[in-house]
Amino acid sequence: MTNRVTYAPQDVQKMCKQAERDHENRKLIVLMERVKRQIAARESARMDAEPGAKPSVVTMKSESERGRLPSRSVPLER
């Protein structure tokens, strides 16, 4: 017979809530990194442009072009 660890129902609920918070934190970190990359790309494009010229438009890949999975909170499209 193996020695199994059993958690109280409250502990399972606490672990689930902590896992949800961790997931939200990871999503926030990814979002912040994406914004930092976009800002850096705009700044580098602005520095590359001539001083008298209009600033060039920087195009970023959309979420669909990068192959990102859709959010579970978005309703299914038909």
Domain boundaries defined on the chain? 7-48
Span 14-24, pLDDT tens digits: 999 999 999 99
The structure tokens listed for 1 are 């017979």
pLDDT grade, residue 40 (50/70/90)? very high
Q: What does pTM read for this prediction?
A: 0.46
Q: How many residues does the chain have?
A: 78
Q: Is the pLDDT of residue 55 over 60?
A: no
Q: State whether the Cα torsion 14-17-21-23 is positive or negative.
A: positive
